[in-house]
Structure 1
Amino acid sequence: MDEAVYWYAVASVLLFLKMFATSAYQGFHRITKLTFKSPEDAAFVGREPAREELPQVQRAAKAWLNDLENIPIFLGLGVAYVLVGASQGLAPWLFLVFTAARYLHTVFYLCALQPWRTVAFAVGVVCMAVMSIQIVAAIL
Structure 2
Amino acid sequence: MNGLLQLYGLCVLALFLKMLVISCYQGYFRLRYRAFANVEDAAFVGRAVMVQDLPQVRRAARAWANDLENIPLFFVLGALAIALQTPDDGTGLLFCAFTVARAIHTLTYLGGWQPWRSLAYGVGLACLLVLAAMIGKALL
Check whether TM > 0.5: yes
Alignment of 1:49-64 (within 5 A): 49-64=49-64
**Contact residue 36 and residue 50 of structure 1 kept, 8 A:** yes
Moved over 4 A (4+): none
Gaps spanning 5+ residues in structure 2: where? none
1:93 maps to amino acid: L
Shift of 1:72: 0.4
1:39 is aligned to 39
**After superposition, where does 1:1-140 map in structure 2 within 5 Å?**
1-140=1-140
**In 2, distance between residues paired with 1:111 and 1:54?**
15
SS in 2 for 1:48: coil
Percent of residue pairs bearing the same amino acid type: 44
SS in 2 for 1:21: helix
Residue type matched to 2:117 in 1? R
How much is the aligned-residue C-alpha RMSD, in angstroms?
0.7
- Provide, for residues 76-127 of structure 1, a one-character-per-residue CA deviation record: whole Å limited to 9, x for no partner: 0011000000011112211111001001101101000111100000000110
Between 128-137 and 40-49, report the one with greater CA deviation.
128-137
SS in 1 for 2:89: coil
Q: How many equivalent pairs are there?
A: 140
What is the letter of the counterpart of residue 96 of structure 1? C
> TM-score by structure 1 length?
0.97
Task: Name the CA distance, whole Å, in 2 between partners of 1:27 and 1:74.
Answer: 26
